[in-house]
Amino acid sequence: MRVREGRDKDEAAEHIVRPPEDSAHEHRFEPGSGPMTPAQAVALQRTAGNAAVSRMLGEAAGAGPKTPWAAPATRTKRTQEESGVERGESPPQQQRRVEKDEQPTRSTRSGRAGTSVKGKEKAEEPEEIGNPTLRFTSGYQGPATQSLARRQEIGFEQTATLLRPDGMTTRAADAYDFWQEVTDENHQIAPNAVNYRPKRSKRQWAVDGPFRPAYNTDDGTIVNEPDHISFIDNPGFSGGMAMTDGYWLSSYEVKFRWKVRRKLGGRFTKNEPYWTSPEMVHRVVSEFDSENPQASAPITATAAGDHEWNVVLPD
């Protein structure tokens, strides 16, 4: 319905301000009868217009808000001077690309810092394992003569040391499989020997006891340092193997060799390919006089000496 201008608007407002009977709100509104609900105000706006509604609310409620319900005030933007924020570039310049050597690092599973990996970029390549050096020293350790009537220790002392190349930082124990092999043969006269006949004993080539990975240092026979591994050995008849009363060592020969290979996947393997050292030989000879068994006899001992090899690891 269209409301006429001027006086007709006021008249219409006095008679039309009634919400429909089926309104969802409970109370009708009449000027001076109490506050107007939002629904009543909307219905009145649709029929009488905003000007009439404002005038009627002013007459009914006196001075105060001129809106049917309190609405949040609109907050105006502060100017740049009021906020104290300097003007920036819009849009900002593209962020400077970080140089490769400025990229942050992260810890690898091993605990060392490594270059961050993005996309398909690969992590830093592992250090190349170079060719080590093998150094061997040895000497005779025992008496100059032998006697059937007393305990005697007849043997040798030796040290085989594998040194990683200069400049390499990977621990030698983590880079190389290094092991010692031995074979020996001896002739001994035992107390129960018939006519002082010597008995022969021989062993074939085999890995020599503890001298292998994992380089156990508990008994002091292996030194495991970052730049080298040393096998400290005393081949021969000493300690519990010494020649005791009634025994005679007629001859003794012991051979050693060492094998070196790059460690595969952190595990020890004796599989080829590997580098093998020349054989080192220690010898002892002492002639027994069966006609005069209580007589002493000289010991002729020949140690393998000192040697050094540049190990060339096969591919």
Q: For residue range 175-184, what is the model confidence (pLDDT) as tens digits?
A: 999 999 999 9
Given a cut of 90, whether residue 84 has pLDDT beyond it is no
Q: Measuring CA to CA, how many Å separate 4 from each of 30, 58, 272? A: 21, 22, 111
pLDDT (mean) for 257-279: 93
The pTM is what?
A: 0.61
Given a cut of 90, whether residue 22 has pLDDT beyond it is no
Q: What's the chain's average pLDDT? A: 76
pLDDT (mean) for 153-166: 98
| Residues with Cβ within 8 Å of residue 204, at least 6 apart in sequence | 183
pLDDT (mean) for 285-299: 96
The SS3 assignment for 59 reads helix
User: Quick one: DSSP state of residue 245?
Assistant: T
pLDDT band at 38 (very low <50, low <70, confident <90, very high): low
Please state, for a pLDDT cut of 90, what percent of the chain lies above it: 57
Q: Measuring CA to CA, how many Å separate 32 from each of 23, 56, 60, 108? A: 21, 9, 5, 81
Q: Measuring CA to CA, how many Å separate 224 from each of 216, 235, 270? A: 8, 21, 20
pLDDT (mean) for 184-198: 96
Judge whether 234 and 159 are in contact, CB under 8 Å. no
pLDDT band at 267 (very low <50, low <70, confident <90, very high): confident
pLDDT (mean) for 293-302: 97
